[in-house]
Amino acid sequence: MNAHRDVSALAWNAEVVKTRESRARAGLRVGTPEEDLPLPSDLIRIMPAKGAAMSADSPGSLAVIGGGIIGLSIARRAAQAGWSVRVHRSSEQGASWVAAGMLAPHSEGWPGEERLLRLGLDSLRLWQQGDFAHGLPAQVITARESLVVGVDSADVADLRTVADWLSAQGHPVIWQSAAREVEPLLAQGIRHGFRAPTELAVDNRAVLNALRTACEGLGVSWAPPVTDLSTVPCDAVVIANGVDAPALWPGLPIRPVKGEVLRLRWRTGAMPVPQRVIRARVHGRQVYVVPRGDGVVVGATQYEHGRDTAPAVSGVRDLLDDACTVLPGLGEYELAECSAGLRPTTPDNLPLVQRLDGRTLVAAGHGRSGFLLAPWTADQVVTELMAVGAHR
């Protein structure tokens, strides 16, 4: 996890230059496709693209391209704001269905990624205190804390670096030198790590199903995927179809990163399901174990392998070996599912949330953080739609 390059925002006009200093903290990209994509600012809405005038028009018709966590979150939020929404979605299950559902800005953090950390914390607050979770079943929350541990001395040193970096910024992480007192299910010999007591995990599939139901209750309609935006009859379009976004708007810097994920089912006589997310570094590799009502989700590998979504034996083997190194009792669980998804990843790991032209916005490239960043993304996109108005 290397520190990512700092990309300066391009000044389109005096207005953008004037406001940029006040926009230094958030995670929103602005600009036209021909410009280099800047790092986030703290403005609540996206500045309109060249030629897109601000408008007080009432909401119109909106097409959301993509039916994963980002597309559904935007569709629900837009429908609540009065838009007539149609979601173009595939019948195939994508990365959102495979995901583990961790809302973990602290334990995913790394020095040099301060902007991504701040963005994640802003969105976590929306999960905890905003209205995003309203209408979702209470049981979608499966854990309310993360414990991050290291297996060998190098793993522990890496975690100490992260914990010190977070603590220096005032974030609530707690270093542990007796981790098995916090989580007795850990293997003997695992002692060091840190707790992130404000992090959450959600049942990703329950969230997706609840969002679909909520959208239908708000009058959202469903339609097949599209391959050409010019064939989409609507006032505004949001491209939110993850790794497929560049096919609709060539040049978007999004690439697929494969991640294999396992689902293990509890069996009678096996160790109990952990009550918190367990994350670990195991001889340099990362593994996580996320509670579910009937077992755990184990993930995830991460490598670039084109658009291949077939789980590989080597990836499954590594995940099982590492998970059982940390929690030996998992060996008694049933291996219920092996799957792989394609994370839509950008060069600097920051999402693309921007206006592309007078009618079209993009909300994609969320990488490993789709569920975490969904509330923030939905708010940003709909605020932009309401502020600028649909280009007619």
Model pLDDT for residues 102-132, shown as the tens digit of each residue: 999 999 999 999 999 999 999 999 999 989 9
Alpha helices, DSSP H only, in 225-301? 245-248
**Tens of pLDDT along 327-385?**
999 999 999 999 999 999 999 999 999 999 999 999 999 999 999 999 999 999 999 99
The answer to whether domain 26-96+205-252+347-388 has CATH 3.30.420.10 is no
> Which run of H or of E encompasses 320?
helix 313-326
Domain with CATH 3.50.50.60 in the chain: 26-96+205-252+347-388
C-alpha to C-alpha distance for 297 and 100, rounded to whole angstroms: 6
The model's pTM is 0.85
Evaluate if residue 137 carries a pLDDT over 70. yes
For a pLDDT cut of 90, what percent of the chain falls above it?
Answer: 82
What band does 390 get if pLDDT is binned at 50, 70 and 90?
A: very low
Q: What does DSSP assign to residue 134?
A: T
User: At the topology level of CATH, where does 146-198+255-345 sit?
Assistant: D-Amino Acid Oxidase; Chain A, domain 2 (3.30.9)
97 closest CA partner among 371, 375, 372, 373: 371
Question: Of all helices (H) and strands (E), which one includes residue 58?
Answer: none
pLDDT tens sequence across 65-78: 999 999 999 999 99
If pLDDT is split at 50, 70 and 90, which confidence band does 58 have?
low
Who contacts 101 (Cβ-Cβ below 8 Å, separation ≥6)? 142, 201, 202, 203, 204, 207, 290, 297, 371
Burial letters 172-195, b for 16+ CB under 10 A, else e: ebeebeebeeebebbeeebebbbb
Pinpoint the residues of the chain covered by CATH 3.30.9.10: 146-198+255-345
pLDDT tens digits, one per residue of 11-20: 223 333 233 3
